Structure 1
């Protein structure tokens, strides 16, 4: 009887000791989990994406800023280059270009129409143009009131040639040169010259 009671008491003591050890181990583990919050599992509170949600726009590269007078700090500044201006001395479009010149006399036809009563005046002036290598049409008459001042008329495209002839006759190239007559019926035997000289009394005598 006594031996059985002793064995029973020793078994109970062993079980009690094991329970104490287990409690100590559990307590140590609980203390570690409290002291080390990094090991704690944090629940994800980010809401799940739903249908219709749009993704955030892609990150764009920063746009360089332009330098502004008085800018301070460490903001990025982009230097603006001044516009390049061309040197007029290097312009070849007009360098050495000659001004417009009248055609050579040999390419210009001239007809003299005498408005005065001076006989042979148109023929004599026509001969003068021949010596200057102009293409001369037949001298003729200008019917109507005699002109006091000689007038020079030119076909379209022959203005420079008419001004050159005005220089030959010592006339005013600005005031004595006119576009061709719309009505040439006053000119007898009009031969459609590039330049028509309506001879007045100033040059006929």
Structure 2
């Protein structure tokens, strides 16, 4: 009888211990639910699309290209790409293609005086008349005192070189070898009237 009573007491003790453990576990679970009431899992689920709606798709990041573009932050979390157009300055032609070279003044703006160095009478007057027909401003024909000149010479005032070379062409002379700066001493020219161009008439053209 005593052994049966001991076994009954042991079983009761085990059952009591199990009840205590169950109570402790339940109590712990209750305490956790009270301390963390917001411990819930939120699932971001998009609402179902209505018929006819287009579901948004992911936007791919712009791929860098060789064209000039700047990324601009709009402040709302969106990056906008602004294309930059670079306009090249037109090339400037620095050549003077088509530009005319310097030209002599018109004959009507150039004064000429003929001085005869030869013994051929009237030679200076005849050549002066020829210049008149070419519209030159003619000064009084005169004489060049001294030894007769074999080859006609053309003298020019400063700034009248081109005009002197043009007159050399008219007389079929050498513009490089028969044209000279104006005489420093013009005393040999009788009645010198300070023309732009002085023609010292030689024997080659006097006749």
* TM-score, length basis structure 2: 0.55
Secondary structure of the structure 2 residue equivalent to 1:127: helix
- Equivalence for 2:179: 177
* Per-residue deviation, residues 112-134 of structure 1 (Å, max 9, x unmatched): 00000000000000000000000
User: Aligned-pair distance for 1:92?
Assistant: 4.8
Which of 99, 102, 105 is the aligned partner of 2:104? 102
Moved runs in structure 1, 4+ residues, more than 4 A?
none
Which of 162, 165, 169 is the aligned partner of 1:163? 165
Which of 114, 117, 120 is the aligned partner of 2:116? 114
User: Aligned-pair distance for 1:96?
Assistant: 2.1
Which of 120, 130, 133 is the aligned partner of 2:132? 130
* TM-score, length basis structure 1: 0.56
Structure 1 unaligned spans of 5+: 1-85
Secondary structure of the structure 1 residue equivalent to 2:114: strand
Following the alignment from structure 2 to structure 1, what is the Cα–Cα distance between the partners of residues 124 and 152? 12
User: Aligned-pair distance for 1:99?
Assistant: 0.1
Following the alignment from structure 1 to structure 2, what is the Cα–Cα distance between the partners of residues 95 and 116? 47
2:174 equivalent to 1:144: no
Secondary structure of the structure 1 residue equivalent to 2:198: strand
Pairwise mapping of residues 60-71 of structure 1 onto structure 2 (< 5 A)? none
Following the alignment from structure 2 to structure 1, what is the Cα–Cα distance between the partners of residues 108 and 165? 16
Q: Report which of the two has the higher share of strand.
A: 2
User: Aligned-pair distance for 1:95?
Assistant: 3.0
* Per-residue deviation, residues 126-161 of structure 1 (Å, max 9, x unmatched): 000000000000000000000000000000000000
User: Aligned-pair distance for 1:93?
Assistant: 5.7
Structure 2 unaligned spans of 5+: 1-89
Secondary structure of the structure 1 residue equivalent to 2:120: coil
Following the alignment from structure 1 to structure 2, what is the Cα–Cα distance between the partners of residues 91 and 125? 47
Following the alignment from structure 2 to structure 1, what is the Cα–Cα distance between the partners of residues 94 and 105? 25
Following the alignment from structure 2 to structure 1, what is the Cα–Cα distance between the partners of residues 110 and 93? 34
